[in-house]
Amino acid sequence: MSIQIIEREPTAAPRKSGIGAAMAGGKRGDGTTRPRQKDDWYPTPAEVTQALLGVLDVDGPVWEPCCGDGSLAEVIANAGHEVVGTDLVDRGYGMGHGKDFDVTRAKRLLAPNVITNPPFNIAAEIIEHLMGLNPDMMALLLKSTYWHAAERTPLFNRYPPSRIISLTWRVDFLNLKRPTMEVSWFVWEKDHKGPTTYELVGRPGGPKRRRGRPKGY
């Protein structure tokens, strides 16, 4: 497999108005690890979705199958896209909840495109199941090191992403001020042919990175 590396700044997306203790921000002030959130649910900060939409063309309605409180879905909707939100657990947002809306057992896609921040402990199961339903495009937010685990190699070989879009900042999912986890958007596109591309995307509205000069120069 060959990988093409691209570095780019996100463009601002037009607006109308579950991943583990480390992904949530990681550690308490005393350095100990925080317990995992119930159901591996970590609300997605708006800037994370905005960064994706700034570099990804979305054509058609979007299904957010792990919608939680709507943090991710609302950003997509505010960018002008039709969104269908569902979740196994009802957190006050979405059009359907409960076992009939378990994404790992879905019999059909509720929209041609899927964008979600899945519970980390079932991410592989979600990838396997949804790719079998043949979405036009699917984007999942996962740890940047997700594919480094040997047991996921067969899954990668079956369904290699078309794009890996890595965020160049650490995301503070629970506003704990101590983020420790790097995350990336993994994108699958139905008509993609060729190698997986690896891209870096900066924080929306953030300062551009400056290159340092080695000491002594």
Q: What is the pLDDT of residue 188?
A: 99
CATH of 3-25+38-201, one of 3.40.50.150, 3.30.360.10, 3.40.50.1100, 3.40.50.970: 3.40.50.150
The C-alpha atoms of residue 117 and residue 168 are separated, in whole angstroms, by 18
pLDDT per residue as tens digits for the range 168-195: 999 998 777 888 789 999 999 999 999 9
The answer, yes or no, to whether residue 30 has pLDDT greater than 70, is no
Q: What is the pLDDT of residue 21?
A: 37
Q: What is the pLDDT of residue 8?
A: 53
Residue pair 128/19 in contact (Cβ under 8 Å)? The answer is no
Residue pair 72/49 in contact (Cβ under 8 Å)? The answer is yes
> What are the residue boundaries of the structural domains of the chain, listed by start?
3-25+38-201
The C-alpha atoms of residue 171 and residue 177 are separated, in whole angstroms, by 10
pLDDT per residue as tens digits for the range 4-16: 555 555 554 444 3
The C-alpha atoms of residue 138 and residue 165 are separated, in whole angstroms, by 13
Q: What is the pLDDT of residue 205?
A: 84
Predicted structure pTM score: 0.79
pLDDT per residue as tens digits for the range 60-90: 999 999 999 999 999 999 999 999 999 999 9
